[in-house]
Amino acid sequence: MLASLRKRLFAVMALLAAVAGMGYSQQDLCKVSALIDPRNPVPGEPIVYIVQVDCPSLQETPLVQPPDLAPDSGLSEFEPAGTATQIQVINGQMRKIYEFRYSFAASKPGEFEIPPATVAADGQIFESNRVRFHVSQTPQSSSAELPPELNNLVAPPRVPEAPQLEKGLFGKIFILPVIETTQPLSGQQILLSYHLFIDPEGLKSARLNPGRIRGTGEIQVPQLKEFLKEELYGLPQNLRFEEQIINSRRYAVAPLYQVAVTPTRTGHIVIEPFRLPLRFGLIGAARRPSLFDSPFDDLLLFDPFDEEGITVTAQSIPLELDVQALPKPAPPDFCGAVGTFTLSASVDKDHVTANEDVIRLRLVLEGEGNAAVASPPSLPAIDGIQLLEEPKTSTSKKVNNNKLVTSKTFDFYLRATRSGKVVIPPVSMTVFDTKNYRYESLKTQEITLTVAPGTNTSVLTALTTATLPSPTSPREPASVPRKELRYIHEGELTLEDSQVNARETLFLALIAAASTAIAVVSLIVSVVRRRRMQDPYAYKKGQAYRKFVDRLNSLKRSAGTNSTAFCEQIAEVLREYLAALLRGEPSAMTTEEICNGLAERNVPEEKIVQLRQLLEKCDSARYAPIAYSQSELMELLEKARQIVEETSACD
């Protein structure tokens, strides 16, 4: 949508430029050309697409529309990488040469062709030449002596300051991506991790000091635009290395990033490389003291005074995924969970009293996959059991042996209505099993309850069997008051004159004022009740919004104390308001149900994506190894406020 809008805007501006530029001679026309750098790239290597515009005495900056690249072409989207201008004077005539740069990368080797770029300049529309180039296989240098386990998994580093070092550093510093599978199914959640690998001896042979590493602050984390993502391990402030030996070769390995991703479409998807620029000191070179000196290696801090060093950009290879669609047709009771799961059931008590005790039936769906998206199962009709309310749900996540294990709990609250043995039959949920590649119905074991008669049975029986007088039976005549009754007063009542003192006057005034106040309060209550009856949803929505604002303000004052609790409270407050907006129960609505409800209320898709990302970030805070800063917490708070204001306007 954004690309289409950009094209229309470019077309309009180009047309205006063409109208304004009528009358230029042929010799004044601009020359437009395109090229790439480097000319022989490898997969994952950053490539710069350059459009050069050579114009005489150009009054305005040219407008450039880079070509569109097909999603399945093996080339990533163009990202703006800056512009440059040169002015030349030849034979007294001034010319301007503009350069427009765009970065991209190839995900695989082969032959590629970039269509012409379109340029509006000097009132004319121009097209550049096509660019054809070859992407070679990633070089497997014999000097690197890569372990067989790492073949085709290592990308060469980039050293802009000393390109001759790139070949010598191949296999000695790189980022290794670890993904559960490259052929996930639609809706399948998979774990993606990135690790920095350094060969200390290999760096020393290149005169780089592995004992002193600093980040430049220009880390490029894959954006994962075509995935739903949940960060489990964010970028660390400090690198924590551990030794790992692969095929007798020693590496220092540090975790960088871990995220759970779920593809949002089927087909071919490319995950762009992870890039991490690192500043190494040179062995034997003097280094002047810096105000930024620290006993720890800070990944996110760049030291501008570190002049005796060199920047090496470690990078990962791009990952290509082939996302498969689920088989059709799906069973009607498919709950939406994709992975390998188990289903269990339990009750909090199996000896209960009829019509008195409340029983909690807990179902737990757990396994490798995204159990959080599973819809609640339907309980079969059970003789002697009454369902009191819809199930309460909760979710949890953990990483076990590089596998993401999630669970979703459904709590049903029941009551036995008769004594004796009552059997809760097996409950089933249908999932898609990625191991056996088929839909499978998971079933729990049946549960037997021992139900004792209620202790108030006799009372209930007495109440239900009591004989009431028949409305048609003749009434007995009223008896005459007995003579033993003594009357308080006989004869006429007379009011004696008395003088009312000041205290009694004050008392009467207070009674009158109280009566007036009660009347005013009653009027206000009646008005509020009338408004509530006229539009109860609007009334509840207004109450929920005021409560939301109050809680956000209280959260703002507590920012910086405990980031985990702070994020959990943001998610709780946001869920409560959205559940009120959607007329649901906050504890029973999943993120997916909230997003679907907002979509039905015509909330824009980008707002729903922002909401989902905010909830996922808050939910993942408890798994992050580092705490959020106060500025990050305030940013989350502001995003929550914006989401509520924008979604409430779309009702």
Residues 140-177: tens digit of each pLDDT: 544 446 888 888 888 888 887 777 788 888 889 999 99
> Does residue 378 surpass a pLDDT of 80?
yes
Whole-number pLDDT of residue 298 = 47
Whole-number pLDDT of residue 18 = 45
Question: Which amino acid belongs to residue 384?
Answer: G
> Does residue 33 surpass a pLDDT of 50?
yes
Whole-number pLDDT of residue 536 = 57
- Range from 80-89, 234-243, 476-485, 543-552 carrying the lowest mean pLDDT: 476-485
Condensed to tens digits (0 to 9), the pLDDT of residues 337-357 reads: 999 999 999 999 999 999 988
Q: Sheet holding 208-215: strands in order across?
A: 208-215, 275-282, 309-315
Please choose, from the candidates 582, 646, 650, 592, the residue with its C-alpha nearest in 3D space to the C-alpha of residue 616: 592
Please choose, from the candidates 339, 327, 319, 330, the residue with its C-alpha nearest in 3D space to the C-alpha of residue 189: 339
> Does residue 25 surpass a pLDDT of 50?
no
Question: Which amino acid belongs to residue 395?
Answer: T
In the chain, the domains with their CATH numbers are 2-135 (2.60.40), 152-285+293-323 (no CATH), 334-452 (2.60.40), 536-648 (1.20.120)
State the chain's mean pLDDT as an integer: 78
Global confidence as pTM: 0.54
d(CA 234, CA 231): 6
**From the CA atom positions of the chain, what is the Rg in Å?**
37
Q: Is 298 exposed, middle or buried (0-12, 13-18, 19+ CB in 10 A)?
A: middle
Burial 261-273 (b: 16+ CB within 10 A, else e): bbbeeeeebbbbb
Parallel, antiparallel or unpaired: strands 358-369 and 319-323: unpaired
31 backbone dihedrals φ, ψ, rounded to 5°? -115, 125
- Range from 493-507, 515-529, 563-577, 586-600 carrying the lowest mean pLDDT: 493-507
> Does residue 467 surpass a pLDDT of 50?
no
Whole-number pLDDT of residue 553 = 76
Whole-number pLDDT of residue 295 = 38
DSSP secondary structure letter of residue 164: T
CB–CB of 252/243 below 8 Å? yes
> Does residue 551 surpass a pLDDT of 80?
no
Query: Which has more pLDDT, 144 or 258?
Result: 258
260 backbone dihedrals φ, ψ, rounded to 5°? -95, 125
> Does residue 310 surpass a pLDDT of 50?
yes
Whole-number pLDDT of residue 557 = 67
Condensed to tens digits (0 to 9), the pLDDT of residues 382-407 reads: 999 999 988 999 998 888 777 788 99
CB–CB of 406/396 below 8 Å? yes
> Does residue 420 surpass a pLDDT of 70?
yes
Mean pLDDT of 634-651: 75
d(CA 398, CA 368): 10
d(CA 566, CA 568): 5
Query: Which has more pLDDT, 195 or 611?
Result: 195
Q: Is 399 exposed, middle or buried (0-12, 13-18, 19+ CB in 10 A)?
A: middle
d(CA 461, CA 468): 14
DSSP secondary structure letter of residue 131: E
For every residue of 335-382, DSSP letters joined together read EEEEEEEEEEEEES-SEEETTT-EEEEEEEEEEEE-GGGPPPPPPPP-
> Does residue 233 surpass a pLDDT of 80?
yes
Parallel, antiparallel or unpaired: strands 428-433 and 403-416: unpaired
Whole-number pLDDT of residue 347 = 94
Query: Which has more pLDDT, 615 or 587?
Result: 615
Question: Which amino acid belongs to residue 521?
Answer: V
Which pair of structure tokens corresponds to residue 587?
């504890």
